[in-house]
Amino acid sequence: MTKQFADLKGVVLDEVAERYLASKKPSTAASYRGLLKRFRVFYGRDLSEFLEEIEEWRERNKTLPITERRRYAEDVARDLIAWLKEKGYSNNAIRGSLTALQNFLKYYEIPLTYSFIDVPPPTSKKSNGKLRWKREQIKEFVDSAEYPRDKAVIVCLFQSGLSLGDLLNLDYGDIREELEGETLPLMICLNRGKTDEEFKTFFGADSVKYLKLYLGSRRDLGAGSPLFAKLGSSRKATDGAIQNNFRKYADKISWIDVADYNPARPHSLRAAFRSRLTGKMDPDLIEFMMGHALGPVKRAYLNIPDDELRELYAQFEHELSIETTSKKLEAGIDGTVSKVEEKYRRKIEDLETTLRTQATQLSQIAELNTRLDREMRDLGKRDAGMMSEIDTLKEQIKAIIQRLEKKTS
């Protein structure tokens, strides 16, 4: 069956629905808000009009014969079930919508009785399982995502072990210092609302890569900005939107069966974090990074300095990697530096050798010049003595010639 999930973009709930949601815990209200928006799309009118229609039928039933009376809320619920099935929603998703509708009506003292509705059975545990993710499968899942935001969500969930709720509650200020400081792995410190436990976990090199690709498209990003925002908005992304997109991406992949229940839902990536590290990392450390309650003794045992905790995560990051790791990037950077250093070291050595050779040559030239000067001086002295001897010989020859001339005359 082709899935055509309800488009909740731009759907606004009226004051009657918001008054009910205000009575709920924030996490419950966030979940029910999406479900009531789904009902609003189905019904085509505000929820206040739904209540008014129920009240009108209550009054009308008082004057009608018993065979003509109508249970309007249950009739609408049956139509809602049929509509959701036609759209391709799973049994559990349909039951979730009915639960939200029933609770909304209960708040306004209107009963919705399942006895008169053919409620789909819950998905069995066997078919309700999560995927046992392999790293290459997660890479394919990332590639199937349409938006940079969703690609980053997938990798961050897998590499941190965070729940979707905890991830969506992060602000840019929670990672800003380490992200802009190029610190890897990137540490996240937070308090999990569900357990009220303070804990720390990490985004690996892959998470940081996809986060930068996504955040590079965001405008006016401040410390208080939600890390993951609605598409085209600065408001925080919703659990329901991410869940719907995950289902859409899973439906593209042949080896994921989403006929009744999406096994590639966000929680499956949190489970993959644990399964990939189990048997390798200390089990208490895994629970700590996932924000689970440990008790004071174990938490004291895990009071590890941040640098050591970061190094421990980095040692096992390859188990959570789909492209690279912090250590590989660090080694790559160091290798580049070493190559540059080696290149210039050799150039310096060559230059020093050249300078030493030139210095030797200059010394030799200087010595040769000294010797030439000495020899020239010596030659000059010898030349002066020879000239004196020549002059003496000339005088002697002249004297002999003169004597010979006298004798011949």
Condensed to tens digits (0 to 9), the pLDDT of residues 279-337 reads 999 999 999 999 888 877 677 767 889 999 999 999 999 999 999 999 999 887 544 44
pLDDT above 70 as % of the chain: 82
Higher pLDDT, 54 or 377: 54
pTM check: above 0.75: no
pLDDT for 409: 58
Q: Answer whether residue 339 shows pLDDT above 70.
A: no
pLDDT for 398: 75
Tell me the per-residue pLDDT of 47-101, one tens digit each, with 9 for 90 and over.
999 999 999 999 999 999 999 999 999 999 999 999 999 998 888 889 999 999 9
Higher pLDDT, 176 or 365: 176
Tell me the per-residue pLDDT of 112-160, one tens digit each, with 9 for 90 and over.
998 889 999 887 544 445 688 999 999 999 999 999 999 999 999 999 9
pLDDT confidence of 354, banded at 50, 70, 90?
Answer: low
Contacts (Cβ under 8 Å, ≥6 apart) of 72: 53, 54, 57
Sign of CA dihedral 375, 376, 382, 386: positive
Q: Residue 185, preceding bond cis, omega within 30 degrees? A: yes
Mean pLDDT of 241-267: 90
**Strand runs (DSSP E) across 262-376, as ranges?**
none
pLDDT for 279: 94
Distance CA 89, CA 152 (A): 25
Would you say how long the chain is, in residues?
409
Q: Answer whether residue 348 shows pLDDT above 70.
A: no
Mean pLDDT of 15-32: 93
Percentages helix, strand, coil for the chain (3-state, rounded to 5) are: 65, 5, 30
User: Where is 203: in which H helix or E strand?
Assistant: strand 197-203
Mean pLDDT of 353-374: 68
User: Which structure tokens are listed for 237?
Assistant: 């992304």
Higher pLDDT, 368 or 33: 33
Distance CA 263, CA 378 (A): 105
Of the candidates 23, 20, 3, the one whose C-alpha atom is nearest the C-alpha of residue 85 is 3
- Mean pLDDT over all residues of the chain? 86
Question: Lowest mean pLDDT: which of 228-237, 251-260, 264-273?
Answer: 251-260
pLDDT for 127: 47
Q: Of 46-50, 295-299, 341-345, 375-379, which has the strongest mean pLDDT? A: 46-50
Of the candidates 85, 60, 84, the one whose C-alpha atom is nearest the C-alpha of residue 72 is 60
Domains of the chain in start order, with CATH, are: 15-116 (1.10.150), 135-324 (1.10.443.10)
What is the SS3 string spanning 47-89? HHHHHHHHHHHHHHHCCCCHHHCCCHHHHHHHHHHHHHHHHCC
Q: Answer whether residue 378 shows pLDDT above 80.
A: no
pLDDT confidence of 172, banded at 50, 70, 90?
Answer: very high
pLDDT for 3: 60
CA distances from 34 to 9, 82, 119, 240 (A): 10, 19, 20, 6
Distance CA 326, CA 315 (A): 9
11 and 37 in contact (C-beta within 8 Å)? yes
Distance CA 365, CA 38 (A): 95
